[in-house]
A and B are shown apart, each in its own frame.
Chain A
């Protein structure tokens, strides 16, 4: 049974030319005050933090730097998992690629860490895109996606432990220079520059997050996170925008790895690719609030000092806790307890929950 239109009257060829109301470019509803406020708040926070190393003693500065590394990891993770809705349990892979690219190129070829950072970021973006493509291609979502990313990170760990040119389980030591060198990213111990470098990276990540989530690609990927079917039906190429987000997230995360190697002068397989690193990316973001700009920062400000406090207790426990001497894994146990509490009482994280309460 075939039929063509017989009764249909063709409409006017020029749709909506007369009837459509027009919205001016200066329509007040187009003003985006919340984004400009976010930029201003970030600028203020970064400026205040920049003064910090001038006020802190060497030991406290070390804690602050560790907190910044947590924050960078969480900001990177949040792009893919918070805004992109693809829960990664394998961000150690990209932190590790950053750390090892830096170490390998520096130790074996004398390459400047600044260049290695870019090389590592590129490799991470490529590796992350490939991993995510495979997971998404086979329609893995939620817990299955997370497990697959975990498995890939473990593969990297095992590979490094078995590759001669990456020195197997020995790891790399960064050769000490006799004087400060910008090009080799090496400074006197306790120098404020060791704080300012990760702060600059973090600032890049935070401003970049705001710019990204307000861009077309960022809007698309959030739409895909909310409803993949609806997004595709509106013409959004789901895979492309997810992979763009993954690439940005992985590239950024690897910067933390490169800095880690430079700051601690050593990197081994566990420090770079261990599952603890993946946890370190997730925990601050979840505690602070995933899918928010400030959440990862707030979370890192909790987790950074907390991790230092736990390390101190383990190193030198008070009488009543003497049995803890030398115990490992307490940090993970405490993070787990904290996560349970957060999920139960503040499912949107500290920042996300407070923001919602403040708004209503």
Chain B
């Protein structure tokens, strides 16, 4: 079943086209990797899907419902949730309260929200930091906090924006394992990432973007050997 249907999605900023005519369908339960050089429009694509930006043109249909132009809160409430590449913790709050804020979307009472938050915190292995101020977390912890908040909303589609960036190699493996578990539990994921080893390990399909447009989409191993993709990354001499 198609969970997300994206049609000719385009975003123009004062003459610069950041995202150009992107068409992609995401199937329920799928893990879709998205790669591309810096400035390819990956994060802008997420912002268009999650409602931080309004598209100039095109259509976004989520779970059969046209959500084009919806604001971020409304999009999140129907189950399409993103994380941010630059972590955005609520710094005055503890890790527990950060996650409980998200869990409040499904649980009205403080106690129920905190309980649901604790389950997610345990799951992403932030349990050592439950009562720590979120601002005091190391990078790896903040990345997990971003993930935990998104999971606490119990989304149907999770947009992960470089959750591995800034992690040292030793921290990457457990994070990749965690993402694999989350996906194995049935979560549909769109995964923007530069670390190719992780992308190849997790993705069932791969979307390559360059200069705002879709360059290739399909089986990860086939896509990365596509001459157009090699050229976009390395220049035409290597293609």
Contact = CB atoms under 8 A, between A and B. Distances in A.
Interface of A: 1-23, 25, 27, 29-30, 214-216, 219-220, 222-223, 225-227, 229-238, 291
Interface of B: 1-2, 7, 21, 23-32, 50-52, 71-73, 76-77, 81-82, 84, 88-93, 96-98, 100-102, 104-105, 108-111, 113-115, 118-119, 122-123, 130-131, 149-150, 153-154, 181, 183-188, 204-205, 214, 217-219
Contacts of A6: 205, 218
B82 A14 contact: no
B93 A222 contact: yes
A11 B72 CA distance: 26
A23 B119 contact: yes
B72 A233 contact: yes
20 contacts: A1-B217, A4-B2, A4-B25, A5-B27, A7-B204, A8-B32, A10-B27, A12-B186, A15-B154, A15-B186, A19-B123, A22-B119, A29-B131, A222-B93, A229-B88, A230-B89, A232-B72, A233-B51, A233-B73, A234-B153
Given A1-B217, A8-B204, A231-B101, A15 B84 contact: no
Contact of A236 (B27, B73, B93): B73
Contacts of A23: 115, 118-119, 122
A11 B26 CA distance: 13
A226 B90 contact: yes
B136 to A, nearest CB: 11
Nearest to A236: B73
A169 B208 CA distance: 71
Contacts of A5: 2, 25-27, 30, 205
Nearest to B217: A3
Given A232-B71, A234-B81, A234-B149, 9 more contacts: A7-B205, A9-B29, A13-B29, A21-B123, A23-B122, A25-B111, A216-B104, A219-B101, A223-B101
Contact of B122 (A1, A2, A21, A214): A21
A30 B76 CA distance: 26
Most buried by A among B26, B102, B219: B102
A231 B76 CA distance: 10
B104 A3 contact: no
Contacts of A1: 21, 23, 214, 217
A220 to B, nearest CB: 7
Given A4-B25, A10-B28, A30-B118, A216 B88 contact: no
B185 A15 contact: yes
Contact of A30 (B28, B51, B115, B150): B115
Given A1-B217, A223-B90, A234-B101, A9 B115 contact: no
